[in-house]
Amino acid sequence: QQQVKQSPQSLIVQKGGIPIINCAYENTAFDYFPWYQQFPGKGPALLIAIRPDVSEKKEGRFTISFNKSAKQFSLHIMDSQPGDSATYFCAATSNSGGSNYKLTFGKGTLLTVNP
Partner 1 sequence: NAGVTQTPKFQVLKTGQSMTLQCAQDMNHNSMYWYRQDPGMGLRLIYYSASEGTTDKGEVPNGYNVSRLNKREFSLRLESAAPSQTSVYFCASSVTSGSTFFGPGTRLTVL
* Cβ burial 82-115 (10 Å sphere, 16+ → b, else e): eebbbbbbbbbbeeeeeeeeeebbbebbebebee
Q: Phi-psi bin for 112: left (phi > 0), alpha (psi -120 to 50), beta?
A: beta
Q: Which of 29, 69, 83, 102 binds partner 1 (CB under 8 A)?
A: 102
Our finding on whether 62 is near partner 1 (CB under 8 A) is no
Q: Cβ of residue 61: shortest distance to partner 1, in angstroms?
A: 20
Cα–Cα nearest to 108, from 16, 13, 22: 22
Question: Which of residues 107, 112, 113, 114 is near partner 1 by CB under 8 A?
Answer: 107
The answer to whether residue 66 forms part of the interface with partner 1 (CB under 8 A) is no
- Residue 49 as a binder of partner 1 (CB under 8 A): the answer is yes
Bridge partner residues of 21 (DSSP): 75
Does position 45 interact with partner 1 (CB under 8 A)? The reply is yes
Q: Which of 27, 81, 95, 114 binds partner 1 (CB under 8 A)?
A: 95
Q: Considering the rule CB under 8 A, would residue 40 count as an interface residue with partner 1? A: no
CA distance 25 to 12: 24
- Contact residues: partner 1, CB under 8 A: 6, 9, 32, 34, 36, 41-46, 49, 89, 93, 95-108
